[in-house]
Amino acid sequence: MRENARVAADFKAFRADYQELVDEISELLGVPATLENRDFELIAFGAYDSEDELDPSALDPVRTRSILTRRSTATVRSWFEGFGITRATGPVRIPPSPGAGVYRGRICLPVRHRGVVLGYVWLLEGDPGPTDAQLAAAMAVAGRIGALLADEAEAGAGLSRELRAVLTAESGWQRDMAVADLRTALGPRADGPHTLVCVAPWPSADPDDAPAARTIPHATALCTLPWGAAGQSLALLVRLRTTETSAPALAAATRLLKEAEGARQAAGGAARGAGARVAAAVAAGLPAGAGGAAVAAGIGETRTGLAELGTVWQEATAAARAALAEPRFGPVAQWSRIGPYRLLTALPPQAAHDRVVGPLLSPVHRELARTAEVFLDCAGQAGRTASELGIHRQTLYYRLSRVEQLTGLDLDDGEDRLLLHMALKRARL
């Protein structure tokens, strides 16, 4: 644990070290340099002070997007990898390609550690270009960057394991031990206000496809956890400045949803996947909107310290489930704002299959189920309900009578209304 604490204490220094090393390469070669990890996520960039850097062509669309969004698209990544940079051990020259948005040629310096590529330093080609001696010196600096990336990866993996242990602990003593380990690993950072973000379902089943915590604003630690029968979710521990603001968590959740969308596009079939989910919901006779979003994020309440992270994770996953079920909550839902879903998400799965309401949830009665739900959402006001549904009042009264016949419930009875409303909402989950 002492080793974890030592490595974690160095996290703040990593970013400054990267910047210093990238600036060193920029000064050494006299050209702007950019550092990305092997997933093409921006780590640092150096703007070399020269007239060349003022040339608008130096900021071609690919470089501009990388700096502004801190990552490159899957198409750009594939194009550059086509030049063999993942296997190279020395500088790789890449010609300009205006059609691909690359207006300036590049020199790629692979960043390796113990034979494994961990990132890339990108240089804009100039005239005259760097000499072989300069490139050799720059590769030596890239080697130092590789060692730093390896150290950070080790520290990040340790924090990921500690966080996963806390969130998956099955008993109180196991969680207490896991919390103690995570507290030791985080050091002084453990004592401030924290919350958790849940993004689900995460598009990739490969845990290695999760983004680095370094690339997410306000992130302290990140791990993947099971979601449903075969999927996985992403858990992010966010350190807040005070217990009164959730802005950092919202920013982190928004960034993770962008990462998820990028992963979905890279994997392909995003639209087909979303369409399949909607089709499945309709086929199952669920209320309109069931299964709404393809990916959503939930944010738990803020706690000071780490002792209640298990509870915060339950809140975050409940908020994510609510956002997936109800588009009005998403794509980022906060536990404090999901209303009755705070209770509904705590119900066991079998609670969604109440025998009385079951017939109403069959596919053939989908319109009746929607009518009943809108009626209850409108507090039983017939005029509002008819207007919302775009139907005549007499049609509404007929449908409501059919709902009573199918369920045996009396919609003039408050408890019967409560049961029906809960069952309809729970069916979305």
Confidence of residue 272 (pLDDT cuts 50, 70, 90): very low
273: left (phi over 0), alpha (psi -120 to 50) or beta: alpha
What are 334's strand-pairing partners?
Answer: 299
Average pLDDT over residues 258-286: 51
Asked if 38 and 113 count as a contact pair (C-beta separation under 8 A), the reply is no
pLDDT value, residue 216 = 86
Asked if 371 and 403 count as a contact pair (C-beta separation under 8 A), the reply is yes
Q: DSSP letters of 255-276?
A: HHHHHHHHHHHHH--HHHHHHH
Model confidence, pTM: 0.66
Q: How far is CA 245 from CA 250, 256, 259, 336, in A?
A: 10, 19, 23, 13
Asked if 235 and 163 count as a contact pair (C-beta separation under 8 A), the reply is yes
Half-sphere exposure at residue 88, Cβ-oriented, CA atoms within 13 angstroms: 21
Confidence of residue 61 (pLDDT cuts 50, 70, 90): low
User: Alpha-carbon distance 176 to 98, whole Å?
Assistant: 57
Question: Does the pLDDT at position 51 exceed 60?
Answer: no
86: Cβ contacts below 8 Å, ≥ 6 apart? 38, 110, 117
User: Alpha-carbon distance 124 to 108, whole Å?
Assistant: 9
pLDDT tens-place string over residues 142-200: 999 998 888 777 766 778 888 999 999 887 888 899 999 889 888 888 889 999 999 99
Question: Does the pLDDT at position 29 exceed 80?
Answer: yes
What are 288's strand-pairing partners?
Answer: none
Structure tokens given for 276: 């399949």
| Chain Cα centroid distance, residue 355 | 37
Q: How far is CA 419 from CA 67, 287, 337, 370, 415, in A?
A: 53, 16, 22, 15, 6
Exposure class string for 32-50: b at 16+ Cβ within 10 A, else e: bbbbbbbebbbbbbbebee
Helix axes 270-283, 247-267, angle to 10 degrees: 100
Altogether, the residues listed in the chain come to a count of 429
Exposure class string for 372-387: b at 16+ Cβ within 10 A, else e: bbbbbebeeeeeebbe
Average pLDDT over residues 317-328: 93
The rounded percent of the chain whose pLDDT value lies above 90 is 43
> Which amino acid, 331?
P
Asked if 252 and 220 count as a contact pair (C-beta separation under 8 A), the reply is no
Confidence of residue 233 (pLDDT cuts 50, 70, 90): very high
Question: Does the pLDDT at position 276 exceed 50?
Answer: no
The rounded percent of the chain whose pLDDT value lies above 70 is 82
The H-or-E segment that residue 237 falls in is strand 231-239
Residue 284: exposed, middle, or buried by beta-carbon count in 10 A (0-12, 13-18, 19+)? middle
User: Alpha-carbon distance 17 to 23, whole Å?
Assistant: 10
Closest C-alpha to 329, from 415, 425, 422, 189: 425
Average pLDDT over residues 16-45: 87
Structure tokens given for 51: 């007239």
State how beta strands 296-299 and 332-334 pair. Answer: parallel
Half-sphere exposure at residue 359, Cβ-oriented, CA atoms within 13 angstroms: 9
pLDDT tens-place string over residues 112-142: 988 889 899 999 887 778 899 999 999 999 9
Which range among 10-24, 86-100, 307-321 shows the weakest confidence by mean pLDDT?
10-24
Question: Does the pLDDT at position 293 exceed 90?
Answer: no
pLDDT value, residue 266 = 61
Q: Mean pLDDT score of the chain, rounded to an integer? A: 82
> 107 vs 230, which has greater pLDDT?
107
pLDDT value, residue 352 = 63
Q: What is the CA radius of gyration of the chain?
A: 27
> Which amino acid, 370?
R
For the chain, the maximum distance between any two Cα atoms, rounded to a whole number of angstroms, is 87
pLDDT value, residue 379 = 92
pLDDT tens-place string over residues 385-407: 999 999 999 999 999 999 999 99
The H-or-E segment that residue 8 falls in is helix 2-9
